[in-house]
């Protein structure tokens, strides 16, 4: 059945934490298909042999220049992948992911595929992605063969990041997990006590993540030990369970962390100790993640304040706002050069001048665009809830290619060496390439 994001969030608000003892791990293949709603134990289907990932070569963070290791590619959220992107990508493979059933007000709800934001990451010859069917998958990137799966307590809705051959990912069962990328085995877990939709990133060996408990956190990536946490709000009277606190993925740049909240506040923190440097208003629930470029930080809010904003990083002063979308934003903007691209719930991909906020072009799809666009080789790659994966010309907004998938797309593409990996909200995960 079709579900609004609010219904999704209401359902996940009733999640129970999973048991996390080593005894909860089980051997044996887990086939795609529905899971019994009472099956809440985390389960790992380990690789028959550890994946050949080689020694870690990307320093002390979860970002690189030749692959995508995290949501939006780097901590500032300004790296979107590598080309060359083919003029007419072809379907290389697709895989049907497992489903998961929950109860919502007496009705059975089936969660399928990749959620919002749901971006895959690629390390070596493998692609890793979490699903709302409770699985983290390790795929052979070029064939779609499953190397291992790990099953959490509820939905893996956020994007994962990879650091030091480990996978870090939040879950609606409230836990942040560290999983060995070579074996699929659990390394450590941290209970945050509320839904964890935020996508993590690692900078300087420290992991940063926000959460629906209203906190931004800094964690030692190797041990899982909390270094600091700062309360940002968004969980007061009247906030909606499953949608409150901070669902954005923190942006990190120059020793500063940026995160927004349900209350419509954008914060700038000092990454050293979590102290608040300033906060400013987006005026509405802000789930789209901040993007840092030069002297500015960009943020976009939902339907109560459906604007794309540019703020000064020095003090949070609003520089401009783009108002040509009355339906709001769940898509995180892409910023490259003097332009910004962002999907709107008004069914359009918007292109905006970065310095002034002036609209340049709009490309209309058949449904809301929650997918965060990847801009590679002057091409904008994104999905729509109309079920299509699109490539449009970054300068003109002209459609260059589209592909009708098996269902609506709310997650975002991973683009490496011209290959595109993306999932749908109806259970399928795709690879396109030359």
Query: Taking the CB of residue 167, how many other CB atoms lie within 10 A of it?
Result: 26
Q: Which two tokens stand for residue 243?
A: 């949608």
Q: How far is CA 100 from CA 21, 38, 109, 133, 297, in A?
A: 22, 10, 8, 5, 37
Q: Buried (b) or exposed (e) across 31-62, using 16+ Cβ within 10 A? A: eeeebeeeebbbbbbbbeebbeeeeeebeebb
Tokens 């307590």 belong to residue: 153
Per-residue pLDDT of the chain (434 residues; tens, 9 = 90+): 334 444 434 333 333 333 333 223 222 223 333 333 333 444 556 567 899 999 999 999 999 999 999 999 999 999 999 999 999 999 999 999 999 999 877 899 999 999 998 999 999 999 999 999 999 999 999 999 999 999 999 999 999 999 999 999 999 999 999 999 999 999 999 999 999 999 999 999 999 999 999 999 999 999 999 999 999 999 987 777 778 899 999 999 999 999 999 999 999 999 999 999 999 999 999 999 999 999 999 999 999 999 999 999 999 999 999 999 999 999 999 999 999 999 999 999 999 999 999 999 999 999 999 999 999 999 999 999 999 999 999 999 999 999 999 999 999 999 999 999 999 999 999 999 99
Dihedral of CA 356/358/360/365: which sign?
Answer: positive
* Predicted TM-score (pTM) above 0.85: yes
In this prediction, residue 253 carries a pLDDT of 98
What is the 8-class DSSP label of residue 6?
Answer: H
Ordered structural domains, the chain, with CATH: 5-433 (2.130.10.10)
Least Cα distance to 201 among 60, 21, 309, 96 occurs for 60
Query: Taking the CB of residue 385, how many other CB atoms lie within 10 A of it?
Result: 22
Tokens 């320093």 belong to residue: 59
Least Cα distance to 423 among 110, 200, 130 occurs for 130
Cβ(395)–Cβ(89) below 8 Å: no
Three-state SS letters, 152-193:
CCCCCCCCCEEECCEEEEECCCCEEEEEECCCCCEEEEEECC
Distance CA 283, CA 236 (A): 16
Distance CA 181, CA 177 (A): 12
Distance CA 211, CA 217 (A): 8
In this prediction, residue 104 carries a pLDDT of 76
What is the 8-class DSSP label of residue 34?
Answer: -
Query: Taking the CB of residue 20, how many other CB atoms lie within 10 A of it?
Result: 19
Q: Which two tokens stand for residue 41?
A: 């134990």
The helix (H) or strand (E) run that includes residue 331 is none
Largest alpha-carbon pair distance within the chain? 57
In this prediction, residue 244 carries a pLDDT of 87
Dihedral of CA 102/408/162/420: which sign?
Answer: positive
Using a 10 angstrom Cβ sphere, with 0-12 exposed, 13-18 middle and 19 or more buried, the burial of residue 66 is: exposed
Name the 3-class secondary structure at 206: strand
Name the 3-class secondary structure at 142: coil
Least Cα distance to 195 among 36, 35, 14 occurs for 14
Cβ(220)–Cβ(227) below 8 Å: yes
In this prediction, residue 40 carries a pLDDT of 41
What is the 8-class DSSP label of residue 210?
Answer: E
Distance CA 427, CA 408 (A): 10
Using a 10 angstrom Cβ sphere, with 0-12 exposed, 13-18 middle and 19 or more buried, the burial of residue 201 is: buried
Least Cα distance to 155 among 180, 128, 178, 173 occurs for 173
Distance CA 172, CA 18 (A): 10
**Partner residues linked to 379 by β-bridges:** 376, 393
């Amino acid at each position: 059945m079709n579900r609004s994001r609010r219904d999704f969030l209401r359902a996940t608000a009733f999640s129970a934490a999973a048991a996390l003892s080593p005894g909860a791990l089980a051997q044996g293949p887990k086939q795609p298909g529905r899971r019994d709603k009472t099956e809440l134990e985390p389960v790992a289907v380990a690789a028959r042999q550890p994946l050949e990932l080689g020694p870690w070569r990307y320093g002390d963070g979860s970002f690189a220049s030749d692959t995508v290791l995290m949501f939006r590619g780097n901590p500032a959220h300004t790296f979107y992948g590598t080309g060359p992107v083919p003029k007419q990508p072809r379907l290389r493979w697709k895989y049907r992911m497992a489903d998961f059933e929950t109860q919502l007000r007496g009705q059975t709800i089936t969660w399928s595929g990749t959620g919002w934001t749901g971006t895959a990451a690629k390390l070596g010859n493998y692609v890793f992605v979490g699903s709302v069917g409770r699985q983290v998958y390790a795929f052979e990137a070029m064939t779609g063969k499953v190397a291992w799966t790990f099953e959490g307590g509820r939905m893996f809705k956020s994007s994962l990041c990879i650091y030091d051959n480990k996978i870090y990912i939040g879950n609606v069962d409230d836990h942040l997990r560290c999983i060995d990328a070579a074996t699929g085995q659990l390394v450590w877990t941290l209970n945050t006590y509320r839904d964890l939709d935020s996508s993590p990133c690692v900078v300087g060996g420290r992991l940063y993540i926000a959460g629906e408990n209203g906190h931004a956190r800094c964690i030692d990536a190797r041990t899982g030990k909390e270094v600091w946490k700062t309360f940002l709000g968004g969980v007061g009277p009247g906030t909606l369970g499953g949608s409150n606190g901070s669902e954005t993925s923190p942006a990190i740049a120059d020793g500063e962390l940026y995160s927004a909240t349900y209350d419509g506040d954008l914060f700038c923190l000092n990454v050293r100790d979590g102290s608040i440097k300033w906060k400013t208003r987006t005026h509405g629930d802000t789930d789209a993640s901040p993007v840092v470029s030069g002297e500015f930080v960009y943020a976009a809010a939902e339907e109560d304040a459906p604007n794309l904003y540019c703020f000064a990083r020095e003090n949070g002063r609003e520089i401009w706002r783009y108002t040509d979308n009355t339906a709001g934003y769940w898509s995180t903007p892409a910023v490259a050069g003097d332009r910004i691209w962002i999907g709107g719930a008004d069914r359009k991909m918007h292109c905006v001048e970065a310095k002034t906020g002036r609209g340049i072009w709009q490309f209309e799809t058949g449904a809301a665009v929650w997918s965060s666009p990847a801009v590679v080789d002057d091409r904008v790659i994104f999905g729509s809830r109309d079920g299509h994966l699109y490539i449009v010309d970054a300068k003109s907004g002209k459609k260059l290619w589209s592909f009708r998938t098996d269902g609506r797309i709310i997650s975002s593409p991973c683009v490496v060496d011209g290959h595109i990996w993306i999932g749908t909200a109806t259970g399928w995960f795709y690879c396109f390439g030359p």
